[in-house]
C-alpha cells in the first residue's frame, strides 16, 4: 500500500482584504480563506510583514499617566493627574512632552530630563509625591514609571533634590509581538476545538500563539514595515501539530505585545 505524500501549501494572508475587524483599530480580524483546505496535519508561519504604526505610549496600554501630589501641607495634599497624549515617542520627545504637560497643569516645581538614556527627576522646590500606579489593573506590568526605568510605584522628592534613575528608559516597546491564530469552524462565533500540541514559550499569554516577532527599531523604525522571517532571525514560529486531520475555512488573527495587550 502506497503512503500518501505529505504536501506543503503556502497561504498568503493580507489584513487589508480581511472580511471583518473584530476589534478595530487593533490588529484583531477574521480572514476567510479563498478555498477550504482539507486534511491539515500542521501549520506554521514562514514570514510576516507588520507596519510599525502603533504607539508606544497610549491610554490603551495604560502607560501614559501618573499623579503628582504637592504635600507641603500633608493634611491637604494637592493631587494632579498628568496625562501624556497618545503617540510614538523617543526618549527625548517623551521627556519634552512630560515637561510640556507639567507646565500645562501649572506644575512648576518638578522637571524631568535625560542623561545617557537615563531619566532624571529634579525638584525646583516643594515636597512632592509622584505616583505611577494610577490604574488598579494588577496585570499591568508596564505603567509609566516602568517606561521611564523606575522600579517603585511612587517616589517622594524633597525640595531642590533629584532622583537619578539607574535603569535605562524603556520607551521602545513592545520588544516582542506575538501572533495568535485561532481556527474557526465556519461559524465565526464558534472556534474550532480540535486538539493540538504547542511548544512555543509564550503559552502563558495564550495557548493559540503560534509565532514570536522580535522588534528591531533601528532597522525598522516607526512608520516603516517590519519584515520578519526565520532567516533574518526576527521570527520564531511554532509548528502546530493536530492530533487528527482538520480543515481550515476561516481564521481569527491577533497581534499581542509581551504583556498580552492587542496592538
Query: Do 101 and 158 reside in the same domain of the chain?
Result: yes
Q: Is the pLDDT of residue 187 over 50?
A: no
Q: Give residues with Cβ within 8 angstroms of 73, minimum separation 6.
A: none
- 5 lies in some domain: no
pLDDT greater at residue 69 or residue 118 = 69
Task: Quote the Cα angle for 121-156-146, to 5°.
Answer: 60
pLDDT at site 190 = 44
C-alpha cell at 142: 508596564
pLDDT at site 262 = 86
SS3 at position 248: strand
Query: Do 191 and 156 reside in the same domain of the chain?
Result: no
Q: How many domains does the chain have?
A: 2
Dihedrals phi, psi of 141, to nearest 5 degrees = -105, 15
Query: Do 246 and 179 reside in the same domain of the chain?
Result: yes
Residue 47 belongs to what domain range? 15-55+173-257
Q: What gap in Å lies between CA 22 and CA 42, rounded to an integer?
A: 26
Q: Average model confidence (pLDDT) for the chain?
A: 85
Query: Do 127 and 184 reside in the same domain of the chain?
Result: no
| 121 backbone φψ class: left, alpha, beta (φ>0; ψ -120 to 50) | beta
Query: Do 81 and 161 reside in the same domain of the chain?
Result: yes
Query: Do 83 and 34 reside in the same domain of the chain?
Result: no
- 213 lies in some domain: yes
For the full predicted model, state whether its pTM sits above 0.95.
no
- 113 lies in some domain: yes
Q: pLDDT band at 138, cuts 50/70/90?
A: low
C-alpha cell at 9: 501549501
- Give residue for cell 511554532: 238
Query: Do 146 and 74 reside in the same domain of the chain?
Result: yes
- 263 lies in some domain: no
Q: What gap in Å lies between CA 49 and CA 121, rounded to an integer?
A: 39
The mean pLDDT of 152-160, rounded to a whole number, is: 92
Query: Do 242 and 145 reside in the same domain of the chain?
Result: no
Instruction: Among 168, 201, 216, give the residue marking a domain's end.
Output: 168
pLDDT at site 196 = 58
Beta strands in the chain (DSSP E): 20-21, 28-43, 47-51, 65-70, 78-83, 110-115, 118-123, 128-131, 154-157, 162-168, 176-184, 196-197, 209-214, 225-229, 235-237, 240-257
Instruction: Among 168, 188, 214, give the residue marking a domain's end.
Output: 168
Instruction: Among 168, 183, 217, give the residue marking a domain's end.
Output: 168
Query: Do 162 and 95 reside in the same domain of the chain?
Result: yes
The mean pLDDT of 184-206, rounded to a whole number, is: 58
Query: Do 104 and 19 reside in the same domain of the chain?
Result: no
Amino acid at each position: 500500500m502506497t503512503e500518501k505524500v505529505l504536501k506543503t501549501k503556502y497561504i498568503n494572508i493580507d489584513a487589508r482584504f480581511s472580511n471583518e475587524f473584530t476589534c478595530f483599530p487593533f490588529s484583531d480580524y477574521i480572514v476567510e480563506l479563498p478555498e477550504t483546505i482539507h486534511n491539515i496535519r500542521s501549520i506554521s508561519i514562514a514570514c510576516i510583514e507588520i507596519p510599525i504604526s502603533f504607539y508606544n505610549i497610549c491610554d490603551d496600554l495604560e502607560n501614559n499617566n501618573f499623579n503628582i501630589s504637592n504635600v507641603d501641607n500633608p493634611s491637604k495634599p494637592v493631587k494632579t493627574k498628568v496625562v501624556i497624549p497618545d503617540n510614538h515617542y523617543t526618549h527625548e520627545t517623551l521627556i519634552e512632552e512630560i515637561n510640556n504637560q507639567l507646565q500645562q497643569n501649572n506644575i512648576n516645581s518638578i522637571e524631568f530630563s535625560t542623561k545617557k538614556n537615563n531619566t532624571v527627576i529634579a525638584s525646583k522646590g516643594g515636597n512632592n509625591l509622584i505616583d505611577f500606579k494610577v490604574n488598579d489593573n494588577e496585570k499591568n506590568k508596564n505603567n509609566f514609571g516602568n517606561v521611564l526605568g523606575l522600579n517603585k510605584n511612587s517616589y517622594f522628592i524633597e525640595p531642590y533634590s533629584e532622583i537619578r534613575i539607574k535603569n535605562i528608559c524603556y520607551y521602545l516597546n513592545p520588544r516582542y509581538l506575538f501572533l495568535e491564530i485561532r481556527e474557526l469552524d465556519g461559524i465565526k462565533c464558534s472556534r474550532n476545538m480540535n486538539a493540538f500540541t504547542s511548544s512555543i514559550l509564550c503559552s502563558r499569554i495564550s495557548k493559540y500563539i503560534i509565532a514570536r516577532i522580535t522588534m528591531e527599531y533601528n532597522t525598522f523604525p516607526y512608520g516603516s514595515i517590519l519584515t520578519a522571517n526565520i532567516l533574518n532571525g526576527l521570527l520564531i514560529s511554532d509548528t502546530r501539530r493536530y492530533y487528527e486531520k482538520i480543515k481550515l475555512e476561516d481564521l481569527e488573527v491577533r497581534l499581542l505585545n509581551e504583556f498580552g495587550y492587542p496592538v
